Each structure stands twice: as C-alpha cells, then as structure tokens.
Amino acid sequence: ITPTGRVTEYPTPTAGASPYDIVTGPDGNLWFVEWSHKVGKITTGGTITEYTAPTNDNPFAIAAGPDGNLYASTYLGIWRITTAGVITQYSDPATAFWQDIILGPDKQMWLSSFNYGDYGALQEFNPKTQTFSATITPDPGKIIGGLTVGGDGDIWIAGYGNNSIDVYEDKITTIRIRLIGEMSIIDPKYGFELGYAVATTSTQTQTISLSMGESVLFQNVDT
C-alpha cells in the first residue's frame, strides 16, 4: 500500500496459505507467517519465497530477533527462522497457544499466550540459550493478547480478557562501574575479592547481589 492508497496484491504460491503477521527482516525483506505451517519472505518488488516448517504447527506472529534471525510464536512454542529460510522449533511443554511475540528491552523474545490453563500468560525465550523463562501471569484469570515495548522500556499488553491495557515492568538493574583502578576488599561473606569501584566518584569496591534471572546493564562511568 503506497502512502497515496494504491494497493498491489501479490498472491502466495500456496493456495489458502492465510498470511497472518508480517515484519521487516534484518535482510531488508518482509517476512510473514502462514497458517499453512509455513513462513514466507517477500521482496519489495513482490517476489515471494515460502519455507515449510519441520512440524505441522501453526504460527501466529513474527518478530525480528537480536541475533539477525527472526522468531515466530506458534501453538506449541517458538520458531527461529534464519534469513536463509532454515526453521528450527523450540517447544515448551508447560505452555501452549502462543499469540504475539516481540523483542523485549532485555534483548530476549517476549511471548503472550491466550490459553495458559484458563488465562493468559507472558514468557521469555532466550535466543542465546534457547530456553524459556518461568511463566508470568500478569492478570490471573484474564486472557491477554498483543504486546509492545513502550518508551519507558516496559512491556505493554492488550488485555482483551479484562477490557484494559496492562503494563509489565521488566526490571533492569543498572550497575555503574569504573574500569580505572583495580582494588581489593575483604567481603564479610565471600572473603577476599578483587574488583573495580562502583559509581562515578566512589573508590570502594562492593559486592552486589542480584536475583537469578534478573536483567543487568553494566555502564562504564569513567570520564
């Protein structure tokens, strides 16, 4: 569709493919998912290529990942799609019927489910480790749908099961470090440690404890 409203149609090679979601890929092409167990690629010139998934799983949404691949949410889990069209499926037996998928502020893939038991759920997929996080239920008993990252770095959720817009604050702890000046301390719990000073002016090495699975941003504050 051009800005002036001119529409051009490009039929998919597979009849009845039912394209469902579409996104710009890292290769500059448009990538879309089909309910015919396939992923499609279309150039801006209209050339379409289809890639068949290794399983008869239906994809719902597709998003560009942090690693140059694309990721699609499916009934049974998630697909990783390379720009060469190689599809790998990762299934999560604890959850099913994934709906939307986005790249989160922590560079992991966030998914929404509309049928986790009797309600909706959020979950993360780590592209590096190919593992799913623990399931998050932002509003137990209610179904959720689309996701996006807001300007505040939080996950915003279309809560169509409770007629609301929900927000999930993804905690990212910032640890500010000075890389100049290595120092040692005797920690009461861990004993001798060799590290670097924290903050912009501090000259004291500190032990910082974080919860497992917490996202961390290391910031160099040297001038």
Q: pLDDT confidence of 33, banded at 50, 70, 90?
A: very high
pLDDT of residue 23: 97
Identify the residue with better confidence: 56 or 161. 56
∠ CA 99-104-107, nearest 5°, is: 125
- 8 A C-beta contact, residue 139 and residue 159: yes
Pure H helices in the chain:
none
Exposure of 51 in the CB half-sphere (CA atoms within 13 A):
21
Strand partners, 96: none
Q: Is the pLDDT of residue 196 over 80?
A: no
Closest C-alpha among 57, 20, 18, 21 to residue 37: 57
Give me the amino acid identity at 50: E
Q: By mean pLDDT, which of 55-64, 155-164, 173-182 is the weakest?
A: 173-182
Provide, rounded to the nearest whole percent, the portion of the chain with pLDDT above 70. 85
Identify the residue with better confidence: 197 or 122. 122
Q: Is the dihedral of CA 82, 88, 90, 96 positive or negative?
A: positive
Closest C-alpha among 160, 151, 117 to residue 137: 117
pLDDT of residue 55: 85
Q: Is the pLDDT of residue 95 over 80?
A: no
pLDDT of residue 135: 79
Q: What is the pTM of this model?
A: 0.76
Q: Is the pLDDT of residue 61 over 90?
A: yes
Q: Is the dihedral of CA 54, 31, 137, 130 positive or negative?
A: positive
Backbone angles phi, psi at 105, to 5 degrees: -70, -15
pLDDT of residue 70: 98
